[in-house]
Amino acid sequence: MHTNEARSTKHEAPVLITIPRFVECAIQRRVNRFVVEVRHGGESKLAHINNTGRLLELLVKGREAACLPWDGTAGFRKASYRRTSFRLFAVREEKGWALIDTQLQMRAFEKAVEARRVGWLKGYRLVRRNPRLGDGVLDYLLRKEEEPAELFLETKSAVLREGEFAMYPDCPTMRGQRHVRALTEHAMRGGKGAICFVGALPGITAFMPSVTGDPVVTTLIKKSWSAGVDLRAIAMHFDGNGILLDNANLPVLFP
């Protein structure tokens, strides 16, 4: 099986996660929310995908994709998706690789926080994954060192591109609406909450909510900011060797 071995990089951005080996494929079609058909070695294979966005601009037939074999590479092991041969984690676009794997995005975010590279989280540490807030479950609970202050934080994958803007979402999302509402209500009760949009695309300069993707989410995000929810964004991308942190405090703009 042909693999693409790790390549050296001159990029000065810090490497958050190294991916030593991946398989190059070509997108054929999206079978369902969690499976994409790819072409590798002259044969059609099935690849697992965990990003439930539509990704219409990325999952284009013939587009080059990067997949992980189910051999423990990057810490993933084959489980419920036994009929798939690979895990699709990145897709080639005009400026480089778009990192679409939401779990890898979260791992990279955690590495950045642990390495104290996220200045707006200075003094905080991750204390729990998947904390409950109201009737829902968010991504993280963080606690301020030497203080009782707690921060509920949700990350959102922003891999829809409009020029140099990373955008979220690319389709209507009831789950996203629920998370933003929960954080807004928490902030209105005096609690601390934040949303971090992960712009996992190369060459982006800012984040902006996508009105066309889900106008309700855009309205809710604006309301959350007015209620005191901290809106942040970070920029990262896969460079063929690993996941690099480009900007830990990417500007957040409103349309």
In a domain, 255, yes or no: no
Same domain, 89 and 108: no
Residue 75, domain CATH: 2.40.50.580
Same domain, 107 and 211: yes
Task: Report pLDDT digits (tens) over 147-193.
Answer: 778 999 999 999 999 999 999 999 999 999 999 999 999 999 999 99
How far apart (Å, rounded) are the C-alpha atoms in residues 139 and 110?
Answer: 11
In a domain, 23, yes or no: yes
Task: Report pLDDT digits (tens) over 111-127.
Answer: 999 999 999 999 999 99
pLDDT in the model for residue 208: 98
Same domain, 115 and 234: yes
How far apart (Å, rounded) are the C-alpha atoms in residues 46 and 29?
Answer: 10
Same domain, 87 and 107: no
pLDDT in the model for residue 187: 97
Q: Work out the widest C-alpha separation in the chain, in whole angstroms.
A: 58
- CA 19, 77, 170, 179: dihedral to nearest 10 degrees? -110
Q: Which residues contact 189 (CB under 8 A, 6 or more apart)?
A: none
Q: Dihedrals φ, ψ of 61, to 5°? A: -55, 130
Same domain, 169 and 65: no
Whether residue 8 is predicted with pLDDT greater than 50 in this model: the reply is no
For residue 224, the surrounding DSSP H or E stretch is: helix 215-227
For CA atoms 74, 77, 79, 84, give the dihedral sign.
positive
In a domain, 132, yes or no: yes
Whether residue 11 is predicted with pLDDT greater than 70 in this model: the reply is no
pLDDT in the model for residue 74: 55
Instruction: Specify the number of domains making up the chain.
Output: 2
Q: Which of 94, 126, 143 is the last residue of a domain?
A: 94
Q: Quote the domain boundaries for residue 107.
A: 102-247
